[in-house]
Amino acid sequence: MYDFVVVGAGPAGSRFARRAAEAGHDVLALEQGTVGEPLACSGHVSTDVWDFTAPDARDDLLQNEIVGARFHVGGPGSDAHRFYKQEAVSNVIDRVGLDRHLAGLARDAGADLREEHTVTAVDEYHDRVEVTARGPDGTETFAARMVAGCDGPRSRVRDELHLSEPDELLHGVLGFDAAADDGEFVDVHLTAPRFFAWRIPRGNAGVEYGLAAPPGDDVGARFDALVEAYGVDPHRRCSGAIPVGPPDRVTSTRGFLLGDAAAQTKPFTGGGILYGMTCADHAVRTVDPTEPSTLQAYERAWRDELSREIRLGHWLRRAYSLPEPVQHAGLRALSGEIGVHMDRPTSVFSREHLRTLLS
């Protein structure tokens, strides 16, 4: 019997599998397809991502360094309000490469990571959980003390454990243009209903364009209008769901959720790579697979660290829907050099940010 079956080998799942294996647990990780594919997530992350990788990962995965953002209330060509730091505030990375790197670290730590395994059922019992998956050699059932659902915004594990869905699922569209661009600023357009659109320079890897909004707001057509206004025709497109708002409970009797499955994401950007891996570390630290009661310690630990960030992130997102004159006034008043951390909204109250404003 395994200690943990991990369903999903994205950043949160691979991070948990690696750290749990390093802690001496017997770990099986199942990935529905090939690790990192299909791409459905932006590669724009905070510089903290390197705290979760091997020391040489930056050399292989880094595509560009970003020092700030230009915020537009209108489309391309509209007036921009610049926010920036003197050093890199974020990095643009090879997103598929990151997934594969993290999965490799999990395997190196001793986790049994199997690709092309689609989970079809999860059954909980008082002393174990059984995970049934369809793989290249047929259907198999694996017994474990606990299951970790790291299988994305439309989580099969979440459904099987009868846990609540996120508060909402946004519809995101990405497109990639091959023209090299090593610019230091991303562009953010507060024009999509209840969310935003973006342009991210990826160095020699080209440019990423994206837009997200609630389903039903004709996201695809709005994305087409965005790239047309920029005068580009992306050679590759993808789309996916973006979960926002974690449910009140992400644990069951012998199971727990991590990452997008638990909506451990930033409400103001939809990003969840760092939040998911942070929660994975909390799970390894707090959960004993032989003691189901320790799942409550995991619930407390990740919420203690992230609940304030998520709550403030919701307030930031509300500003996206303010009247345009109010947006212009607010952005104009706050623009300039900043001292905030892109994953931590509460850093707006930090000494670093206050010193920057006063200087």
pLDDT at 337 over 60: yes
Question: Are both 125 and 213 inside the same structural domain?
Answer: no
Q: Band of the pLDDT at 335, cuts 50, 70, 90?
A: confident
Cis peptide before 136 (omega within 30 of 0): no
Helix-strand-coil split of the chain, %, nearest 5: 35, 30, 35
Q: Tell me, what's the pLDDT at 45?
A: 95
Q: Tell me, what's the pLDDT at 339?
A: 80
Question: Are both 18 and 145 inside the same structural domain?
Answer: yes
Question: Are both 82 and 172 inside the same structural domain?
Answer: yes
Question: Are both 105 and 160 inside the same structural domain?
Answer: yes
Question: Are both 207 and 236 inside the same structural domain?
Answer: yes
Question: Are both 176 and 240 inside the same structural domain?
Answer: yes
Q: How far apart are CA 235 and CA 100, in angstroms?
A: 23
Question: Are both 131 and 34 inside the same structural domain?
Answer: yes
For residue 231, the enclosing domain spans 44-93+168-244+324-359
Question: Are both 311 and 330 inside the same structural domain?
Answer: no
Question: Are both 177 and 294 inside the same structural domain?
Answer: no
pLDDT at 354 over 70: no
Q: Tell me, what's the pLDDT at 73?
A: 93
269 and 278 in contact (C-beta within 8 Å)? no
Tell me what the mean pLDDT of segment 253-278 comes to: 96
- CATH code at 188? 3.30.9.10
Buried b (16+ CB within 10 A) or exposed e, 337-359: ebbbbbbbbebbeeeebeebeee
Structural domain count of the chain: 2
Question: Are both 21 and 51 inside the same structural domain?
Answer: no
List, for residues 190-224, the tens digit of each pLDDT value: 988 889 999 999 999 999 999 999 988 689 999 99
pTM of the model: 0.95
Q: Tell me, what's the pLDDT at 60?
A: 96
pLDDT at 357 over 60: no
Question: Are both 88 and 105 inside the same structural domain?
Answer: no
Q: Tell me, what's the pLDDT at 69?
A: 95
Question: Are both 175 and 216 inside the same structural domain?
Answer: yes
Identify the DSSP state of 325.
Answer: H
Average pLDDT along the chain = 93
